[in-house]
Amino acid sequence: MEIDSDNMSSPASNSSPGLFPDLSVDIGGIRLKNPVMTASGTFGYGAEFAELVDLNRLGGIIVKGISLYPSKGNPPGRVVETPCGMLNAIGLENVGLDVLIKKKLPGLKGIRTPVFVNIYGKTAEEYGEVAERIEEIPEIAGVEVNISCPNVKAGGVAFGVDPLAAGGVVKRVRERIKKPLMVKLSPNVADITSIAKAVEMAGADSISLINTLTGMAVDIRTRKPLITNITGGLSGPAIRPVALRMVWQAARAVSIPVIGIGGIMNAEDAISFLIVGATAVQVGTANLVNPGATMEIIDGIEGYLTERNHSKVTEIVGTLEI
C-alpha cells in the first residue's frame, strides 16, 4: 500500500517545478515529504517537541521504543557525555503499549507527518503481538522494529547480531502487519550485509541503521563504570564514520530503501548519508543539543540541491564517486 504524506505544509516542501527542489522520497510503501526523520528515543513521543519544532515540516517521526508492557528501564547512572558523543543505557524505559495508545498518540492528532512506532519485544512472538496492535491504529503510518538495543538483557540486540534470529523476528512481524515495516539494525556485528539481506528476505520494506555502538566509560578515582549498567550505547558525531561505512555497505547489499542514522548534526552530515546510498536519514542525539536541528537540516538539503540545480533529492542518492 502506497501512503502519501502531505507535501504542502511548508515552503521547503513545496515541489512546484522550477521553484523548489522536490524533497520527497519513497521509503518502502510510504512517501515522505522530505528525507529527514527523528530517531527513536531522542524525540520523546513527538508532542513534547511541538513548541520547538514544526512537526508538520518533518519527513517522519519515530516515537520512543515501545513494548507490550511498561518498563522502568535501567537504574540511574544511565547517561554520560563522552568525546564527540554520549553513552546511554536507558534500557528501553517506556510507558507500554496501552498508555502509548491512550495517552501519548492523541498528542499527535492532526499532525500531517507520518508517525512510526519503534517496537521491541523479549521474544519474537512478543514483537509480533506489539506489531499487531499497532496495525489497528489508523493514525500510525508504520513500524520500526528495534532488533538492536544494546542495553537490555532479553531481546534487543540478541536478535540483531544473528541473521537467522533477525529474519525470524521480522518474519513474525510481517505476518501480522501490512503497514510499512522498517527494521533497525545494530552496528555491533562483523558483517552488516548478512543481517541486512536476512531482514530483506524476511519481508522488511526498509532498513534503518545504525543503532548505538556498545561502549564504556570509567571513573578512575572510584574505578567504577560511569554507567550503572557498565556498558552503554555510544551515539553522536563520534559514530558517524562507522555509520556512514555501514550504510554504504548495506545500501549495496539490498534493494529496499536504507535509512541512514548516526551522528547526523547538520545538513552536510545528512547529505553525505544520501550520497553513500541512504534514501532518508534519522536525526538522534542532535535533537538533544539543538532541538531545531531537523529544521536546519531540511533547509540545508534544499539549499544544496538548489545551488547545484537538482530538481529532486533522489538525484543525489547513491552518487558516491569512487
Taking the complex as a whole, the smallest distance from the CB of residue 213 to ligand FMN amounts, in Å, to: 9
Q: Which residue lies nearer to ligand FMN by CB, 10 or 146?
A: 146
| Residue 210 · residue 236 · CB < 8 Å | no
Q: Cβ closer to ligand FMN: 22 or 39?
A: 39
Rounded CA-CA distance 30/289 in Å is 29
Cα–Cα nearest to 261, from 276, 277, 247 = 247
Question: Which residue number has the CB closest to ligand FMN?
Answer: 41
Interface residues with ligand FMN (CB under 6 A)? 39-42, 64-65, 88, 90, 92, 118, 146, 149, 184, 211-212, 235-236, 239, 261-264, 283-286
Contact 7, 294 (CB under 8 A): no
In whole angstroms, how close is the CB of 99 to ligand FMN at the nearest point? 15
Question: Which of 299, 298, 304, 300 has the alpha carbon at shortest distance from 319?
Answer: 304
Give the nearer residue to ligand FMN in terms of CB position, either 9 or 283.
283
| 149 given a catalytic annotation | yes
Could you say which of 37, 149, 247, 270 is catalytic?
Answer: 149
Residues in the chain: 322
Q: Closer CB to ligand FMN, residue 21 or residue 189?
A: 189
**Of 5 and 212, CB closest to ligand FMN:** 212
Q: Where would I find the H helices in the chain?
A: 97-99, 124-135, 157-160, 163-176, 192-201, 240-253, 267-275, 286-289, 293-307
Three-class secondary structure of residue 82 per DSSP: strand
- In angstroms, the Cα distances linking 14 to 10, 33, 64, 94, 302 are 6, 9, 29, 36, 11
The SS3 of residue 55 is helix
Specify the DSSP element, H or E, that contains 209. Answer: strand 206-209
Q: Which residues are catalytic?
A: 149
